[in-house]
């Protein structure tokens, strides 16, 4: 389902395909509509949600949470094959990226499973 939302516009505070998404709004929407799970609506709250998962054990649907200086700054949904779907403000739309891309591989990331 997350991959199907690629191209949806970014909007701070957004939580619907029609209105756009920010990163936590995208996660909340997908989890609610795909599995009936209510996810926290902020990146800071996602850090402690669910269970921690080691990088070598991640699977589709797990969260990738990026931190800087010990503070959560961004999150996305892992969709397999080293890829994740997220709603970055840079670029202006939901997109599919590789965790091992030049930019994302330099970021501190942890994984959570609801």
**How many Å apart are CA 77 and CA 60, to the nearest integer?**
8
Q: Is 74 a catalytic residue?
A: yes
Q: Is 23 a catalytic residue?
A: yes
Q: Is 86 a catalytic residue?
A: yes
From the candidates 10, 40, 74, 85, give the one annotated as an active-site residue. Answer: 74
Place of tokens 């961004």: 74
Query: How open is the CA angle 74-22-102, to the nearest 5 degrees?
Result: 40
From the candidates 2, 23, 47, 58, give the one annotated as an active-site residue. Answer: 23
**How many Å apart are CA 15 and CA 21, to the nearest integer?**
5
- Output the six-digit token pair for 60: 């589709």
SS3 label, residue 86: strand
**How many Å apart are CA 51 and CA 48, to the nearest integer?**
8
From the candidates 14, 31, 86, 112, give the one annotated as an active-site residue. Answer: 86
Q: Looking at the annotation, which residues are catalytic?
A: 23, 74, 86
């Amino acid at each position: 389902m997350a991959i199907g939302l690629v191209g949806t516009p970014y909007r701070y505070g957004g939580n619907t395909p029609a209105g756009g998404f920010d990163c936590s709004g995208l996660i909340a929407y997908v989890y609610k509509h795909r599995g009936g799970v209510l996810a926290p609506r902020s990146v800071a709250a996602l850090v402690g949600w669910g269970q921690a998962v080691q990088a070598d054990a991640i699977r589709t649907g797990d969260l990738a949470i990026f931190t800087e200086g010990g503070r959560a700054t961004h999150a996305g949904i892992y969709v397999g094959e080293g890829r994740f779907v997220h709603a970055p403000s840079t670029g202006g739309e939901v997109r599919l990226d590789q965790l091992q891309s030049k930019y994302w591989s330099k970021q501190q990331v942890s994984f959570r499973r609801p």
